[in-house]
Amino acid sequence: MIAEDLLPHLVEVETPGTATDRYGNTVDDWSVSTRADVAAWLQQNTGREDTEQRDAQIGEWLMICNPVTAGGAPLTVHGADRVHWNGASFEVIGPPGPAYVPTELHHYEIRLKTVEG
């Protein structure tokens, strides 16, 4: 695991609950989501503007965190989850990348995306 002093950003990982839609399909339900505090390192990798028919700011970020919450519970992150930090909300892009040492899961490397506008 990564030393806590190297993970200075406290983020919230939000996981949606599930519901059944009118067709019997299981869908994400954000009204019953759960949140977990996670110590992490966040850095912006790219940023761009989309000014075609709108004025949007788009950023792609990397989040590195241990496979446990700030309270010590096991952390599982999925592509449907959201991350909240410093007033910003991020989408998880794709599956999180687990990083292993020979004997165990060491940390996660998670790609994030934010869009404003």
Instruction: List the structure tokens of 1.
Output: 């695991």
70: pLDDT confidence band, cut at 50, 70 and 90?
confident
34: pLDDT confidence band, cut at 50, 70 and 90?
very high
What DSSP designation does 1 have? -
pLDDT, residue 28, reads 92
Hey, where are the domains in the chain? 4-116
Q: Is beta strand 9-20 parallel, antiparallel or unpaired with respect to 82-85?
A: antiparallel
**In whole angstroms, what is the distance from residue 69 CA to residue 75 CA?**
6
pLDDT, residue 6, reads 95
Question: Which CATH superfamily hosts domain 4-116?
Answer: Bacteriophage SPP1 head-tail adaptor protein (2.40.10.270)
Does the pLDDT of residue 54 top 90, yes or no? no
55: pLDDT confidence band, cut at 50, 70 and 90?
confident
Whole-number average pLDDT of the chain: 90
51: pLDDT confidence band, cut at 50, 70 and 90?
low
pLDDT, residue 46, reads 84
Cα 58 to its chain centre, rounded Å, is 16
Give percent above pLDDT 70 in the chain: 96
**In whole angstroms, what is the distance from residue 39 CA to residue 113 CA?**
19
